[in-house]
Amino acid sequence: MLSQQRDYVLRTVEERGVRLIRLWFTDVLGTLKSFAISPAELENALEDGMSFDGSSIDGYSRIQEADVLASPDPNTFEVLPWVDSKTAEARVFCDIHNLDGSVFDGDPRQVLRRNLDAARAMGFEFLVAPDIEYFYFAKPGPDGVPVPLDQGGFFDLTTTDVSSSLRKETIRTLETMGIPVEYSFHEDAPSQQEIDLRHTDALSMADSVMTFRMIVKEIAAMHGVHATFMPKPLERVQGSGMHLHMSLFEGDANAFFAKDDQYNLSPVAKMFMAGLLRHAAEITAVTNQTVNSYKRLVPGFEAPVHVSWARNNRSGLIRVPIPKRGSPSATRIEYRSPDPACNPYLAFSVILAAGLRGIREGYELPAEADANLFEMDDTMLDKLSITQLPQSLNEALRLMESSPLVQETLGEHIFEWFVRNKRHEWRQYKTQVTPFELDRYLRSL
């Protein structure tokens, strides 16, 4: 099979006159990295991988030696649609290996592969569909203050808007690259967009999220606009989340569906949710990895704060959407805390691992919390034993550090590097004196 795919890729490069092949991979923080090779080098790259110096890649650095191998995954070969066809370029995602061919522990894509293998060993295929939110801004001025392109609201029909034509062009490009879009609309906040992707297996979806962020930014930049996945760019409006719709399939059957249950949820679904809820706080540093992420997770902006689940309560961390036409295959859960600035490979890994832990250990799902939790006081929440997500990157890191689950899921190499890097980020943030403080204290104290 592999040799046929290789032949197919080589032949396509020749026939389409591809001049440059971009080898894509991801650093530990979730930034897309790329280096280009010529068609002449491609056959060799597909056969043996391309070695490169990993020491400049965030999270790849090691003490012994810096060189690693990028091994292209021929499954992911795509011609880039936005490049002029006379100088056609293509991309292919890579798995990173050590020079001896063993798996490189610093590669997030391999971390996800390992966790998906664990799910497969239990008989499950993990399907994911993200709803990705982001903002368009005019290029930031010298003061760095973001300027929205419009003042549109939720579902506003703003046909003449720059932002809606940008969104359309983005969707066309996504579809040309084999990333089907389910819905798209103008979100609540000015210049905020949402694009919902059609579900696929988690590895393809993590690749798609990387491609998605690249395409959104690329198309915007072509029109002199800046697109951002920053979780909370504007103070008084809602931030950008990446809600994840998820299900497990056992062969051709949705393992989350049960006909005779009042929620149509199977025991597997309930244990998965219980695992996700019990470990939610520990994995939040990975699903919400910036200082800014925690300014989104506050009451009043449709973002989750409490560790709870419900069918139609958008203040909960897990929502159980009612599937269209009650279709068993559409039965799924929606995890609402992640933001689009996360590393999708690592975020999918920790979420899956938390859910699988619930299944393995037979966790019991707490009762549905269908009241508005933002209106309850702490005593009430305590009585329902509803806890909160971490309130800051600092708190999230503290919880992550003492989590054997996260350590095991990410592996020693990434776990240690991630905590070290993020601790550093927090320390830098803490030394800031903010406009809030100056405004509040300078004159009065």
Partner 1 sequence: MATSEKIVVFPGSPSPDLARTLDLGGHRWKAATSPEEAAKSEPAGGWMGAIIACDADPEGAWAFARAIRKRDNPVGAVLVLVSGAQLDDLEMRDDLFDDFCLSPFHPRELEARLTHLFSRAHGPMRPEVVEHSGLALNLETYQASFNGRPLDLTYMEYELLKFLAQNPGKVFTREMLLSRVWGYEYYGGARTVDVHVRRLRAKLGEEHANLIQTVRSVGYRFGQSRWGS
* Tokens representing residue 353 in the block: 């691992």
For partner 1, the closer of residues 34 and 85 by Cβ is 85
Among 24, 52, 77, 136, binds partner 1 (CB under 8 A): 77
Do residues 98 and 88 touch, judged by C-beta distance below 8 A?
Answer: no
Our finding on whether 63 is near partner 1 (CB under 8 A) is: no
C-alpha R_g of the chain:
22
Which residue type occupies 180?
Answer: P
Q: Does the protein bind partner 1 through residue 81 (CB under 8 A)?
A: yes
Minimum distance from residue 137 beta carbon to partner 1 (Å): 28
CB contact set of 113 (below 8 Å; sequence gap of 6+): 95, 203
CA–CA separation, 315 and 313 (whole Å) = 5
Q: How far is the CB of 73 from partner 1 (least distance, A)?
A: 11
Closest to 406 measured CA to CA, from 284, 290, 309, 307: 284
User: Is residue 78 involved in binding partner 1 (CB under 8 A)?
Assistant: yes
Name the residue among 374, 289, 279, 385 with its Cα closest to residue 31.
289
Report how far residue 206's alpha carbon sits from residue 343's, in angstroms, rounded to the nearest whole number.
Answer: 8
Our CB check for partner 1 shows the closer of 3 and 34 to be 3
One residue of 28, 45, 71, 76 binding partner 1 per CB under 8 A? 76
CB of 7 to partner 1, least distance (A): 4
Smallest separation, CB 180 to partner 1 (Å)? 4
Q: Considering only 174-182, 232-240, 379-387, 399-407, which stretch makes contact with partner 1 by CB under 8 A?
A: 174-182
Among 65, 175, 364, 412, binds partner 1 (CB under 8 A): 175
Query: Contact at 8 Å (CB) between 340 and 277?
Result: no
Helix (H, G, I), strand (E, B) or coil at 33: strand
Binding region for partner 1 (CB under 8 A) out of 120-128, 147-155, 227-235, 369-377: 120-128
Place of tokens 């990993």: 54
Using the rule CB under 8 A, is 74 a contact of partner 1? yes
Give me 288's structure tokens.
């919400």
Least distance from partner 1 to the Cβ atom of residue 329, Å:
8
CA atoms of 241 and 71, how far apart (whole Å): 32
The answer to whether residue 420 forms part of the interface with partner 1 (CB under 8 A) is no
Q: Among all chains, which residue has been given the structure tokens 């920053």?
A: 230
User: Binding segment for partner 1 among 45-53, 247-255, 289-297, 348-356 (CB under 8 A)?
Assistant: 247-255
Q: Closest approach of Cβ 227 to partner 1, in Å? A: 21
SS3 of 213-236: HHHHHHHHHHCCEEEECCCCCCCC
75 binds partner 1 per the rule CB under 8 A = yes
Asked if residue 181 binds partner 1 (CB under 8 A), the reply is yes
- Beta carbon nearer to partner 1, 87 or 372: 87
Shortest separation between residue 285's beta carbon and partner 1, angstroms: 31
Whose Cβ is closer to partner 1: residue 198's or residue 440's?
198
Position among 4, 159, 160, 262 found at the interface with partner 1 (CB under 8 A): 4
Binding residues with partner 1: total (CB under 8 A): 38
One of 32, 79, 214, 291 touching partner 1 (CB under 8 A): 79
For residue 242, give the nearest of 281, 205, 271 by alpha carbon: 205
Residue 12 binds to partner 1 (criterion: CB under 8 A): yes
Closest CA to 175 of 207, 202, 198: 198
Our CB check for partner 1 shows the closer of 81 and 146 to be 81
Per the DSSP assignment, residues forming a β-bridge with 245 are: 129, 334
Please answer whether residues 162 and 207 qualify as being in contact, where contact means their C-beta atoms are separated by less than 8 angstroms: no
Site mask for partner 1 (CB under 8 A), range 321-350, x = bound: --------x---------------------
Cα(289)–Cα(221) distance, rounded to whole angstroms? 25
C-beta of 191 vs 208, nearer to partner 1: 208
Strand 309-310 and strand 318-319: the pairing is: parallel
Q: How far is the CB of 251 from partner 1 (least distance, A)?
A: 5
Residue 5 binds partner 1, judged by CB under 8 A: yes
- Span 199-238, contacts to partner 1 by CB under 8 A: 199-201, 204
Q: Binding of partner 1 at residue 15 (CB under 8 A)?
A: yes
Quote the CA–CA distance of 282 and 398 in Å, as a whole number: 8
Q: How far is the CB of 40 from partner 1 (least distance, A)?
A: 18
- Under a CB-based contact definition with an 8 Å cutoff, are residues 248 and 125 in contact? yes
Q: E strands of 313-401, at which residues? A: 318-319, 333-335
Binding site for partner 1 (CB under 8 A): 1, 3-5, 7-9, 11-12, 15-16, 74-79, 81, 85, 120, 125, 127, 174-176, 178-181, 198-201, 204, 249, 251-252, 329
